[in-house]
Structure 1
Amino acid sequence: MLPSSGCARALVAAAFLLFHSSCQSGGTPPTPRERALREFEGAYPLEARSLGTVRTFDLVAEPTEVPLIDGHALRVWAYNGQVPGPRLRIRLGETLRVRFTNRLPQETTIHWHGVRLPNAMDGVPHATQPPVQPGETFVYEFTPKDAGTFWFHPHVRSSEQVERGLYGVLIVEDAKPPPYSRDVVWVIDDWLLDETRQLFPRFNTRHDLAHDGRWGNVITVNGRTDEVLRVRPGERVRLRLLNASNGRVVTPDFSGLQAKLIAVDGMYLRAPIEPSGFELAPGNRVDIDLTFNQLSAAPLRIFERFFARQPNHLADIVLEGEPVDTPDFGSPARARVPVWREGLEVPEHHAFRLNARGGGPLGIEWTIDGKAFAGHSHAHEPGLTLRQGQFYRLRYVNESARLHPIHLHGMFFRLLARNGVPVEESFFRDTVLVHGREEVDIALVPTDVGSWMMHCHILEHAEAGMMTMIDVEKE
């Protein structure tokens, strides 16, 4: 029997043969679905290519105090005593091994957000692994298929555990990384503090559940409100941004800078584009190519403008020192990303309906197709079953007025349309923001067999039931 990646490759190859044979024989032309599958060929690796090198890290989750925000000691839960957690960096082709120890008062797991990996390493309790109990150790080991910016966080009581500080960045460098002057990470988060400047102790409140999750009263970059990036004129910087918030959406504004968007959710674009207006929802990542060929005596202030009337300061960039030569190389954003102009002609396979109702253990249930996920400890029928190596068009119908950033585990997709209007995005995603009363069409080709979670990444919505499983079966 073929392994999952070989099976997917065989299925895609069969579609190509069908396409060419029909064209050469003058027979029935290929359908839009067959042409879409043909265009998918070579979009990204179908299997990991291991170099045999293993990078081993130890991660410990435990309560601690760290000087965050304004330097005040904040009681948090942290990986290795720091928030954000330690930055894990490996090279494409290397194997990541993480020895994880749980010293929390709760069970937990680690989900490797955006990484295409074996299903058993995905970190979904009871679906892909038993939860890691207090005092226990679990070893995660996998070879990523893609280079890019990813992150890790718990998938047990995420609305509490992530909010307390449990998250970190995983960077998978290219086999030959572009020669940027520097590679910089900004982790954006917000914190809801009480009058003592500690975390507000109540989680999953009715207000948060009824609205767009828990939005904090302090926004930080890398755990601080005074983050400064100091660069020399001429430097070319790769800036990786992650939104680790529970619910807040941010729209970073790089106006006035020589900035290009080169990657979304870890995947390179077909070609670099302007980054203006990109809505960085919880879970989303973007990579920005910044060239500083100007002189400025004043700090360059970076704001986020999701609410145009209430911009929030994120960080400052300071140019200082003697100029340096700017690294001269072509943009790494030159991936093969299918256009799928006929994607909307492919019959819709399924429409997920997103809504809410009263009831459940939290008083409000957020539902997918009228069902609320009843907790990780229960067995669940899949909300959808797909076949490996096939092209699908799916739709999200938001029947509520709230935001829902929908995240798929184990697969990337391309946005096709919003409210029926085609969208020309030149990149794949693993998370898409669905606005209130909006309908969104996506397209994907699942390549990895397994039971994969799909959920809203407003963590309070997920905790209240807006989760389901997608089973990907062998053809």
Structure 2
Amino acid sequence: MNLTRRQWIKNGAQLTAASMLPWSLWADQPQVPHINIQARETTASWFAAPTPIWAYNQPKLTLQQGVMQTLRVTNHLPVPTTIHWHGVRVGNAMDGVSGLTQAPIEPGASFDYQIMSPDAGTFWFHSHHNTIEQLARGLYGALVVTGNNEPRFERDWPLLIDDWSLSRNGRIDPAFANRHNQSHAGRMGNFLTINHQAGPWRGEANAGERVRLRLINTATNRILQLHAAFPGALWLAKDGQPLAIPEPVPEVILLGPSERWDIGWIARDAGQLLEVSGDEPLLVAQVDLNPAEGTGVPAYPDAMALPANPMPHVPAGVNQRVPVTLEGGAMGRLQTAQFQGEPHSFRELAARGQFWAISGQTGMPEAPLFRARQGESVELLLDNRTAFPHTVHWHGHHVWADGRWHDSLTLLRGQKQSVRLMAGNPGKWLIHCHMIDHQATGMMTWFEVV
């Protein structure tokens, strides 16, 4: 069942651095007992009949900044899988990319991830093996890394916002690889969930309490347009990295797949989070006010500003400049591209299920897009020459753009953007579009830190 954006709006309302430490030094950090994560088949109680989904037994993980943690992942699925720790500056061997940094975890097997985040903030984790299907089936969770000097928020809520493509029987549409979707904006869902529960999400705060909303777009392809109707709310962090000075939340938050925003708010009135890209606003979340006696919380913004993470210094100069040209797709201008080491016309690429390219390469090339030494500054010249938006994601790194750090950045149609990447942990790191349909059909590459 292919529903329009308007139908999705209506149905949704009705259906309810590395820090520059080398990995060898990180490994000397003290460890705490391991956490068991199970990838498994389960069901969601969204309708009268249960909906089969895939999920983790730990939908939210909380780690401590700077503390090494063993996360033992056991695969109870009938197919191989991995976990990618999105936005966390991990060692390369722990990045969870099937075929690049590790072999997939076979059914019945386990794998121990050794994770230490140098950063406090909002991250998430998800499958990075056959992602086009496994993410759409629900294999993701929230990852919160707490710091020692963060302000106290009386209410702290991660909101993982997803759209599911469901058939009329309430089950996940099994047509994951649809060539029309893949060559356009990607597979779009018709059912809204927040934290794997049917939307809208609801919470309650006492008058005067500090509220932290961690907004995480876990959709496979949809760019969310969110209106945060929380009077006086402030934008605290992007992709886990605090803003130097909290900023007023704009009228519309453009949140591409995998991007995160942290919003801080003093509860003085009720508030709502709305998705506003359609003809009618869709209620995503609502916080009701308990008119109890106030808590005496000091006025913001200083009460909610987050301490900076140990991000690298961005020097004035750069060591190299690298064009990153996004090409292809329907109504694009891509004529030819390299695929598996050979040039192909766009028609030939499409016949092989490859619709997108990065700098003339489609699919994973043998050679990296660039190599850099640890600590070098690389300027990436992003150029979206396609008819569609793309959310570019860098593994193991954040890039500096517009005065803030990003591990994922949305480029609209025809948009150009210069960003700075400081080469961190050594290894092979993926760059790809986080519209998963675009990644699966060519829009991915990699770089190497030596």
The whole-number CA distance in structure 1 between the counterparts of 2:441 and 2:157 is: 35
Structure 1 residue 47: Cα displacement: 7.5
- Deviations 1:202-242, CA, capped at 9 Å, x for gaps: 10201210212111111222222131011111111111111
Asked if the contact 1:383–1:470 (Cα under 8 Å) also holds between the matched residues in 2, the reply is yes
TM-score by length of 1: 0.80
| Inter-CA distance 50–317: structure 2 relative to 1 (3 Å threshold) | farther
Structure 1 residue 334: Cα displacement: 5.0
Letter in 2 for 1:61: A
Structure 1 residue 165: Cα displacement: 0.4
The whole-number CA distance in structure 2 between the counterparts of 1:117 and 1:339 is: 19
Q: Does residue 302 of the first structure (1) align with residue 292 of the second (2)? A: no
- In the other structure, the counterpart of 1:313 is 283
SS state of the match for residue 461, structure 1?
Answer: helix
Letter in 1 for 2:166: L
The whole-number CA distance in structure 1 between the counterparts of 2:151 and 2:26 is: 21
The whole-number CA distance in structure 1 between the counterparts of 2:29 and 2:315 is: 37
SS state of the match for residue 258, structure 1?
Answer: coil
| Inter-CA distance 362–61: structure 2 relative to 1 (3 Å threshold) | farther
Structure 1 residue 6: Cα displacement: 5.4
Which range moves more in the overlay, 103-112 or 52-61?
A: 52-61
* Structure 2: 5+ residue stretches without partners: 1-17, 329-345
| Inter-CA distance 219–102: structure 2 relative to 1 (3 Å threshold) | same
- In the other structure, the counterpart of 1:19 is none
- In the other structure, the counterpart of 1:323 is 293
The whole-number CA distance in structure 2 between the counterparts of 1:450 and 1:324 is: 51
Asked if the contact 1:362–1:464 (Cα under 8 Å) also holds between the matched residues in 2, the reply is no
Structure 1 residue 67: Cα displacement: 1.2
- Deviations 1:329-356, CA, capped at 9 Å, x for gaps: 633335388997967xx68611111112
Q: Does residue 353 of the first structure (1) align with residue 353 of the second (2)? A: no
Which range moves more in the overlay, 382-391 or 310-319?
A: 310-319
SS state of the match for residue 233, structure 2?
Answer: strand
Match of 1:66 among 26, 29, 44: 44
Asked if the contact 2:272–2:286 (Cα under 8 Å) also holds between the matched residues in 1, the reply is yes
Letter in 2 for 1:325: T
Q: Does residue 238 of the first structure (1) align with residue 215 of the second (2)? A: no
Pairwise CA RMSD = 2.6
Q: Does residue 403 of the first structure (1) align with residue 389 of the second (2)? A: yes
Letter in 2 for 1:396: L
Q: Does residue 393 of the first structure (1) align with residue 379 of the second (2)? A: yes
| Inter-CA distance 49–240: structure 2 relative to 1 (3 Å threshold) | farther
SS state of the match for residue 382, structure 2?
Answer: strand
The whole-number CA distance in structure 2 between the counterparts of 1:323 and 1:243 is: 34
Matches within 5 A, 1:141-160: 141-160=114-133
Q: Does residue 5 of the first structure (1) align with residue 6 of the second (2)? A: no
- In the other structure, the counterpart of 1:95 is 68
- Deviations 1:263-316, CA, capped at 9 Å, x for gaps: 11111111100221331111111111111123x5xxx432023x2645332112
- In the other structure, the counterpart of 1:229 is 203
Matches within 5 A, 1:12-91: 52-68=30-46, 73-80=50-57, 85-91=58-64
SS state of the match for residue 437, structure 2?
Answer: helix
More strand by share: 2
- In the other structure, the counterpart of 2:257 is 282
The whole-number CA distance in structure 2 between the counterparts of 1:100 and 1:350 is: 36
Structure 1 residue 255: Cα displacement: 3.3
Letter in 2 for 1:132: I
Asked if the contact 2:319–2:376 (Cα under 8 Å) also holds between the matched residues in 1, the reply is no
Structure 1 residue 408: Cα displacement: 0.2
- Deviations 1:13-64, CA, capped at 9 Å, x for gaps: xxxxxxxxxxxxxxxxxxxxxxxxxxxxxxxxx9859762415211111222
SS state of the match for residue 141, structure 1?
Answer: strand
- In the other structure, the counterpart of 1:171 is 144
Asked if the contact 2:234–2:263 (Cα under 8 Å) also holds between the matched residues in 1, the reply is yes
Asked if the contact 1:55–1:94 (Cα under 8 Å) also holds between the matched residues in 2, the reply is no
Q: Does residue 128 of the first structure (1) align with residue 114 of the second (2)? A: no
- In the other structure, the counterpart of 1:372 is 362
Structure 1 residue 462: Cα displacement: 0.5
Structure 1 residue 387: Cα displacement: 1.9
Asked if the contact 1:48–1:145 (Cα under 8 Å) also holds between the matched residues in 2, the reply is no
The whole-number CA distance in structure 2 between the counterparts of 1:138 and 1:360 is: 36
